[in-house]
Chain A
Amino acid sequence: MSLARKGRSIMLTGLALLALVYVRALAFTPVERFQGPAQKIFYLHVPAAWSAMLAMGLVGLCSILFLVTKDLRFDRFAGASAEVGTAFSLVMLTTGPIWAKPIWGTWWTWDARLTLTLFLFFLFIGYLLLRGAVGDPGLRARYSAVLGICGLLLLPFIHLSVYLFRTLHPQPIILKPSSPSLPGSMLATLLFSFAVFTLLYVGFVTQRYALSLERESEVENA
Chain B
Amino acid sequence: MSDLLRRAWTVARKDLMLEFRTRTALLSAVVFTALVLTVFNFGRDPTAVAPLDLAPSILWVTFTFAAMVALNRAFQLELENQALEGLLVSPLSRYSLYWGKLVANLVFVAVVEAVGLPLFVLFFDVPVGRVVLPLCGVIALATLGFVTVGTLFSAMVIRTRFAELMLPVLLLPFLIPPLVLAVLATAKLLSARPLSDSAGYLKLLAAYDIVFLVAATFLFRFTVDE
Contact = CB atoms under 8 A, between A and B. Distances in A.
Q: Do chains A and B touch in the complex (CB under 8 A)?
A: yes
A103 B116 CA distance: 43
A133 B181 contact: no
Contacts of B172: 122, 126
Interface string A116-150: 00010011011001100110000100110111011
A143 B156 contact: yes
8 contacts: A125-B169, A126-B172, A129-B170, A146-B223, A147-B170, A150-B212, A154-B173, A154-B174
A133 B173 contact: no
Given A133-B166, A142-B222, A160 B156 contact: no
B161 interface: yes
B30 interface: no
Given A123-B173, A130-B160, A142-B223, 15 more contacts: A67-B222, A119-B176, A122-B173, A126-B173, A129-B169, A130-B166, A139-B159, A142-B225, A143-B160, A147-B170, A154-B174, A154-B177, A157-B211, A165-B180, A165-B184
B223 A160 contact: no
Contacts of B166: 129-130, 133
A161 B222 contact: no
A161 B180 contact: yes
A151 interface: yes
A130 B152 contact: no
B219 interface: yes
Interface in B56-112: none
Given A119-B173, A151-B173, A160 B204 contact: yes
Interface of A: 67, 119, 122-123, 125-126, 129-130, 133-134, 139, 142-143, 145-147, 149-151, 153-154, 157-158, 160-162, 164-165, 168
A158 to B, nearest CB: 6
A76 B5 CA distance: 37
Interface string B153-165: 1001001111000
B201 interface: yes
Interface centre among B159, B162, B222 (most CB of A within 10 A): B222
**Majority-rule SS of A interface residues:** helix
A162 B204 CA distance: 12
Interface of B: 149, 152-153, 156, 159-162, 166, 169-170, 172-174, 176-177, 180-181, 184, 200-201, 204, 207-208, 211-212, 215-216, 219, 222-223, 225-226
Contact of A146 (B159, B160, B219): B219
Nearest to A159: B177
5 smallest CB-CB distances across A and B, nearest first, come from: A133-B160, A157-B177, A161-B180, A161-B177, A126-B170
B140 to A, nearest CB: 18
Contacts of B156: 130, 143, 146-147
B212 to A, nearest CB: 7
Contacts of B225: 142
B173 A153 contact: no
Contacts of A145: 222
A162 B183 CA distance: 12
Contact of B215 (A139, A143, A150): A150
B170 A146 contact: no
Nearest to B207: A157
B80 to A, nearest CB: 20
A150 B174 contact: yes
Contacts of B159: 134, 139
Nearest to A138: B226
A145 B215 CA distance: 12
Nearest to A132: B161
Contacts of A146: 152, 156, 219, 222-223
Nearest to B166: A133
Contacts of A154: 173-174, 177
Given A143-B223, A161-B204, A168 B173 contact: no
A101 B200 CA distance: 34
B177 A130 contact: no
B181 to A, nearest CB: 6
B160 A164 contact: no
A122 B175 CA distance: 12
